Structure 1
Amino acid sequence: MQPRHLLTRIQRHLRLTGTSPSTFGRCVVGDPRFVHDLRNGREPRIATERRIHAWLDAQEEMAR
């Protein structure tokens, strides 16, 4: 997956859940600046990207 797709997906999750970017980053990857840094061009490691997609998949499944 591409980092832009990841950021779009994260931002959608934030909007739908009302979660702040810093809370998301802290809870999911242990970095409260993660979303801010993505917005500024940070490219996560592939393993980190996969972990976030898996976490988002699980959240979407639980919401169904």
Structure 2
Amino acid sequence: MAILGKIERYLRRYDMPRTKFGRLAVNDPRLVDDLRNGRAPGPELCERIEAQLSRAPAAPGQGDVR
């Protein structure tokens, strides 16, 4: 599955804002928007994204805790 599809599922599953995911994954709040607009991530970026995808917030619905 394409990396963007995995991210979209993660965002829905954990009710996490796209900007928070980008910050957590690669310290870039625009990551998801850039990927949606055609940005092609390199291997290192994909590894960092996959690492975040393997981690989960404390509980579903906790993605927006500040």
Do the two structures share a fold, i.e. TM-score over 0.5?
Answer: yes
- How far is the alpha carbon of 1:57 from its aligned partner? 2.2
* Number of the residue aligned with 2:5: 8
Higher helix fraction (1 or 2)? 1
Summarize the alignment of residues 7-46 of structure 1 with structure 2, pairs less than 5 Å apart: 7-46=4-43
C-alpha distance in structure 2 between counterparts of 1:51 and 1:31, whole Å: 12
Aligned structure 1 segments of 4 or more residues deviating by more than 3 angstroms:
none
1:1-44 Cα distance to aligned partner (Å, 9 max, x none): xxx71000000000000000011001111000000000000011
- Structure 2: state its 5+ residue gaps: 60-66
Would you say how many aligned residue pairs link Structure 1 and Structure 2? 58
Structure 1: state its 5+ residue gaps.
none
In angstroms, what is the RMSD of aligned CA positions?
A: 1.8
Q: Percent identity?
A: 43
TM-score normalized with structure 1 length: 0.78
Question: Taking CA–CA contacts closer than 8 Å with sequence separation of 6 or more, which of the two structures ends up with the larger relative contact order?
Answer: 2
Q: How high is the TM-score relative to the length of structure 2?
A: 0.76
